[in-house]
Chains A and B, each alone.
Chain A
């Protein structure tokens, strides 16, 4: 891997990928990891291999004392505190480092969730919104792993609809405490956490976050849930029965709890993506090993084309996932590079910069959780009958993966966020979506152009991507024209637009990474990456086309529909790619390496 590469500096506007052609040089990729990143990767990877994986069964049997011990060990290495400023006992490093850790810690589903709830939703609210006194009091305890953090937003009657919480807070007559009443549901780490960020409505109206210690009077934790997966993580309800919270433990401002909740989710989402990539890498290594060892019809099953296809698909998922995740955190680092360390508004500025990429974070969340579910499914299939029984790793991974589509905002909610965010930015003019749509329409009306042939590398893929962006603009324009302000009521259309936007960002990230790779290492050394890109593009363009048809058939009819379909056909016209040969190349490479490689 290149160690001399310098990270991109350019500050990118969130959502920009949909409108402009991306310059690969502005895109951060795993090949751009510097020496520090590589060392962090090594520490996290070794820690997982040596401390987590050999103890997977202990973790799975809910030995929470052990999970706490593991968290403490990770904390001793600094793995729990990359996002915490040095002055509060943290290791304070960039978001690329943060994603590398989330990625390489995720070798065992349960512990990955325990870990990420602690370092992410359990700790970050204090980093970003805490007063100096709150930070001094709690961050060193959380950074060192002496205390474990948790985050309680959901309630039994409000998960997606979290702002509709019923938990209530009332100021005590002496003005010293808020008295909290209500319940919370599905709280990760609740069984053993020491500090909870709890959301409740002051006077039943003002949505507010509180820092609640486990020992505060009136606070209690209910029984463990019996879950489909991540069974070694703790998930319990909380009961707040006249729970006494000192006024100095209000986090942020009264009534501004929503800002906290939404901002924290952005980080949770890109880290979930990183963890899904890490989980997929483990699945690939296991699947390769199994496919080489398992014999059927007198051969290792790794010799069979359909098994090789599955292996290739897992590898392609990892490559694309890495491209998405590291590009996004790279943008965050570029955007926060000028923020002065230790300045009073440092945390606020970092939070704001990350918020700029809210739509990218939602894309990663949806894309990576769905990729991971396909990966664990393929893994079970490769293991055959052994994939269905508990003694082998495929079964657990299959169950553990599923929750990723539910928490950190369900994938439906995130799809709504993606489309809603883009349309809102378009309306406000922050993202020049409307001019782009107009330009496209003018171009289409002018009829086919005979532009000069693009002689750059991967010209076909560049064209396919450019067209996918146009399709995204076209259908967004058509749908907003038809439904105007009521578009939010047409969720299926919102969802399908999101599907296109998600694919565009994934294709854009994959292509940028591969082009950068060709530039730095030459075409021969990038052959597998090109094969991956070929397969990904072939599949993604079909998905984009299907989503576009679905939308157009709903928002247009008659001549209008026919015209739009003509345009769509023009934009999707392409020679078929030999995905069989391309997948074979990918499979051969990973089987040869014995692990993820390209």
Chain B
């Protein structure tokens, strides 16, 4: 099975985020890491390869620093990597990122594309689904398990309230993988050493520019929600207080 894993570099989870000057995104001077669901997508891909053979290719779109994510994927066992390298990729919306990726892999024949369910920064949960549409492939989201079956795959999807769905799908397909579905492997020192010599193909912005369209989504303004605290003392006899309280919880706060 030839598997592509989409991996994004996002600000570290515990990084103190500050808005940039135009208040459209966070400042660049933070630590970065692999988007968590993408790390699970990579893990799922590596396990599929271990069971069924094939190849795992990691792809990322982003500035030079995003190469770290690809090296980590290579160190953990991916065979090669593709880096769409340009600062401009950061400014693209999910649709355009999907277009860029589709253009970058047009000469390759993947059986399966895995992405994370969503990114920890923007949280669109769109890239994988849009990529499937662009490629004209089947897709399924919130995947917890993948196994090869009769030339296709069988996947387990997470539904709400603890329900799961098992689906058999044909290949090629795109799956968006849920976080926390197993234990992530560490990069071993031998893996880290080998990663240095694995192929990493760079794709420039110009190479994919023809496939891009104007962004359909732009961020106008970001702000940090203000925390406000208001205390209201409800007066009256116990039964009056209880009535007022129920009314408030039901009509104002809508929690009951």
Contacts and interface: CB of A to CB of B under 8 A. Distances in A.
Interface of A: 3, 35-36, 38-40, 42-43, 46-47, 76-79, 81-82, 91, 93, 97, 525, 592-595
Contacts of B29: 525
A77 B189 contact: yes
B68 A43 contact: no
Given A3-B68, A525-B29, A36 B188 contact: no
Given A77-B189, A525-B29, A39 B195 contact: yes
Given A35-B68, A35-B71, A525-B29, A40 B14 contact: no
Contacts of A97: 189
B70 to A, nearest CB: 10
A39 B75 contact: yes
B26 interface: no
A47 B16 contact: no
A42 B189 contact: no
A78 B71 contact: no
B186 A36 contact: no
Given A36-B193, A36-B196, A525-B29, A77 B68 contact: no
20 contacts: A3-B67, A3-B68, A35-B196, A36-B196, A38-B68, A39-B75, A39-B195, A43-B187, A46-B186, A76-B188, A78-B188, A79-B189, A81-B189, A82-B189, A91-B190, A91-B193, A93-B189, A93-B193, A594-B14, A595-B14
Most B CB atoms within 10 A — which of A38, A77, A592?
Answer: A77
Interface in B65-96: 65, 67-68, 71-72, 75
Given A3-B68, A36-B196, A525-B29, A43 B186 contact: yes
Most B CB atoms within 10 A — which of A39, A43, A525?
Answer: A39
A38 B189 CA distance: 11
B84 to A, nearest CB: 18
Contacts of B195: 36, 39
A1 to B, nearest CB: 9
B102 interface: no
Interface in B155-212: 186-190, 192-193, 195-196
B16 A39 contact: no
Indicate the size class of the contact surface on chain B: 10 to 19
A93 B192 CA distance: 11
Given A3-B68, A39-B75, A91-B189, 15 more contacts: A3-B67, A35-B71, A36-B193, A39-B187, A39-B195, A42-B72, A43-B192, A76-B188, A78-B188, A79-B189, A82-B189, A91-B190, A91-B193, A594-B14, A594-B16
B189 A78 contact: yes
Contacts of A93: 189, 193
A39 B189 CA distance: 9
Contacts of A592: 16
Contacts of B14: 594-595
Contacts of B67: 3, 35
Contacts of B188: 43, 76-78
A93 B190 CA distance: 10
Given A593-B16, A594-B14, A40 B71 contact: no
A69 to B, nearest CB: 16
A82 B190 CA distance: 10
B185 to A, nearest CB: 9
Pick the 8 closest A-B CB pairs, nearest first: A78-B189, A91-B189, A39-B192, A77-B188, A43-B186, A35-B71, A78-B188, A43-B187
Contacts of A43: 186-189, 192
B190 to A, nearest CB: 6
A594 B31 CA distance: 13
Contacts of A594: 14, 16
B186 A47 contact: yes
A3 B65 CA distance: 8
Given A525-B29, A592-B16, A594-B14, A39 B190 contact: no
A592 B192 CA distance: 32
Contacts of A47: 186
B52 to A, nearest CB: 24
Contacts of B192: 36, 39-40, 43
Contacts of A525: 29
B45 to A, nearest CB: 19
Nearest to B70: A35
A40 B189 contact: yes
Interface string B23-56: 0000001000000000000000000000000000
Interface string B118-156: 000000000000000000000000000000000000000
Most A CB atoms within 10 A — which of B67, B71, B192?
Answer: B192
A82 B67 CA distance: 24
Nearest to B65: A3
Contacts of A39: 71-72, 75, 187, 192, 195
A50 to B, nearest CB: 9
Nearest to B185: A77
Contacts of A91: 189-190, 193
Contacts of A595: 14
Nearest to A595: B14
A2 to B, nearest CB: 10
B72 A78 contact: no
Contacts of A82: 189
A376 B243 CA distance: 55
B16 A78 contact: no
Nearest to A91: B189
Contact of B187 (A3, A42, A76, A81): A42
Nearest to A73: B186
Nearest to B18: A592
Most A CB atoms within 10 A — which of B65, B186, B187?
Answer: B186
A3 B186 CA distance: 21
B9 to A, nearest CB: 13
Nearest to A36: B192
A43 B71 CA distance: 13
A40 B187 CA distance: 8
Nearest to B71: A35
B71 to A, nearest CB: 5
Nearest to B184: A46
Interface string B4-15: 000000000010
A195 to B, nearest CB: 22
Given A35-B68, A42-B72, A77 B16 contact: no
Nearest to A34: B196
A525 B68 CA distance: 22
A76 to B, nearest CB: 7
B21 to A, nearest CB: 14
A47 B189 CA distance: 12
A515 B230 CA distance: 50
A46 B75 CA distance: 15
A77 B75 CA distance: 11
Contacts of B75: 39
A40 to B, nearest CB: 6
Contacts of B71: 35, 39
Interface in B218-236: none
Contacts of A78: 188-190
A592 B27 CA distance: 15
A82 B192 CA distance: 12
B186 A77 contact: yes
B74 to A, nearest CB: 9
A44 B14 CA distance: 19
A593 B30 CA distance: 10
A489 to B, nearest CB: 48
A81 B192 CA distance: 14
